[in-house]
Chain A
């Protein structure tokens, strides 16, 4: 830190993480560069975070893991694997891993490897899309609250506090148990539960930037509020937001897994990792592989996103 920090209107309570937002925002406190750093960044324009990503070892391992699953998910229709719902009852005599079924078969005689790969396609579509939707809702709300302040801020922040005061899984359980498990409903629940967290981060970042010269310059040019929020402010908040997005995708994968495990997952019979773990637990004392392999799949994919987030955070701290 070379320059003194620019005073912001951040009231102290904003720095106190609230219960449910805190987990996906794990990197928040570390990732958010001070206003002074951001200003320096705007003048010197060093290469962006994404372009410097290859210098981070952890991040590259994470990207490798994500790519591995993405490629498997995309190429699933052409891979020499069984259809995910095909039941091979003959193999059930020996459900463990074998030459015909590399990871064995599940309680219904379906090939676990095939189901994991098709499940990857599903989770890699739903989780990033749900996180993106949470951002589409959270960003405008956070920008409005941070840019206008006053009553707008009070309404947005108080409404967010209500959602964030919930123990998050309980909120998901009640919502999904009521509206029923479907891809659309799970995405709706993620947006409702996770959008306020996004809004809170964007609001904090906007408050830091709100009084910087470039915003004043844009206001002098008589740019519209919409232009200032989305073209001036939002791109300057991107560093911490990219990190948060990675964490949020990872956390959404966990959430979808938990919902599946609790019996509220994406509807069967199509493969869903969390549901696979749950189905396998009925046989866990005899055939632990039925739960173990899908559980390992979830862990690696989440780890991939968390490693990328950690690498990004480290890089942004180096600035």
Chain B
């Protein structure tokens, strides 16, 4: 078992490295661009040339990637902090420390000064959404799956298909049209700043609702499928035949066994939420991580894009790791083999 966990861990770390190399390759594919984008469009050509040689942009991609990793883990000094470049880049943490993500050319500060606050805002949004999606999906999925083919089942399933067909930006537009334009109950933007007259909690309602609407249907479908399968098993029939009330059959025998398969799906929702927040944060101008990635990509802020993607990948791979291990622990068939 421990051996399997270690093997899984190593393979996920390798996946992570390969994925971050891919991002590095895409963003830094043309070296001339890297220097130009770091310095901005108005920098003199000499500075660009100096940075080009300073960063060793002539070297092949894998070497540059290794160097980037070196700066990241604190084994190498960040070349961008060299005063000779005229970047005026000052990092109070020094030029060599663990998790040195470099310098954001968009915000003109060290990446570490922007990224964690944004990540915290997104964690709040995604955490609230996750906290609503899971119980809602479990209840709906169990209700639908306990009597397959019933009216309730068909209703919940159709509801699930409809909500998963509405992308976040569309449901955002619908909700804004109803609750902001028509009823005037809620604010249309969520800058997380009480100055505009709307308390912070009211600014969270619509973004959270958008995420919940889009993701819940999918989890409901998974829970329903698993529940329906369990309810067709012989031990359920036995429990019913021995006279146990249907309610007890569902709660004691059905639910407990039906929760194993959806466990992974539920954890992997965290990954979908990372995707979902990009759009949701754009709809509501929410100062979060997803919007930051989009703005950084559009601006060409290479260091920030690489840092943010790496963090998103770590979250994604870590949840995958937890869900694989958890699945193995929950499922006796795998645990014992």
Contacts and interface: CB of A to CB of B under 8 A. Distances in A.
A167 B275 contact: yes
Contacts of A174: 23, 26-27, 293, 297, 305, 309
Interface string A252-280: 00100110011110000000001001101
Contacts of B173: 277, 280-281, 284, 288, 291-292, 295
Interface stretch (A13-21, A103-111, A124-132, A205-213): A13-21
Interface residues of B, number: 66
A173 B279 contact: no
Would you call the interface of chain B mostly helix, strand, loop, or mixed? helix
Interface stretch (A73-81, A90-98, A142-150, A158-166): A158-166
B140 interface: no
Interface string B268-301: 1001101110110011000000100110011010
A315 interface: no
A178 interface: yes
B161 A306 contact: yes
A166 B268 contact: no
Interface in B144-198: 157-158, 161-162, 164-170, 173-174, 176-177, 180-181, 188
B316 A166 contact: yes
Interface string B303-337: 00100010011001101100110011000001001
Interface stretch (A23-31, A38-46, A47-55, A214-222): A23-31
B101 interface: no
Contacts of B282: 261-262
B177 A165 contact: no
A19 B275 CA distance: 10
Interface in B108-149: none
A161 B334 contact: no
A169 B170 contact: no
Nearest to B315: A167
B164 A306 contact: yes
B319 A250 contact: no
A69 B16 CA distance: 41
A277 B169 contact: yes
A77 B312 CA distance: 45
A273 B324 CA distance: 38
A302 B22 contact: no
Contacts of B328: 12
A292 B169 CA distance: 11
B18 interface: yes
A307 B161 contact: yes
A196 B171 CA distance: 29
A214 B320 CA distance: 36
B69 interface: no
B218 interface: yes
Nearest to A168: B275
Interface string B17-31: 011001100110100
A303 interface: yes
Contacts of A166: 19, 312-313, 316
A19 B19 CA distance: 14
Given A162-B22, A173-B278, A167 B298 contact: no
A293 B40 CA distance: 39
Interface in A112-164: 158, 161-163
Contact of A303 (B161, B275, B283, B316): B161
Contact of A165 (B26, B218, B300, B317): B317
Nearest to A284: B176
B221 interface: yes
A177 B164 CA distance: 26
B15 interface: yes
Nearest to B221: A26
Contacts of A261: 169, 279, 282
A298 B168 CA distance: 11
B254 interface: no
B176 A30 contact: no
Nearest to B319: A19
A22 interface: yes
Given A17-B264, A284-B177, A258 B188 contact: no
Contact of A162 (B15, B157, B320, B334): B15
Contacts of A224: none
Contacts of A167: 271-272, 274-275, 312-313, 316
A310 interface: yes
19 contacts: A12-B337, A19-B271, A20-B275, A22-B272, A58-B161, A165-B16, A166-B313, A167-B274, A168-B275, A169-B278, A173-B294, A173-B297, A174-B293, A258-B167, A261-B282, A264-B298, A288-B176, A292-B177, A298-B170
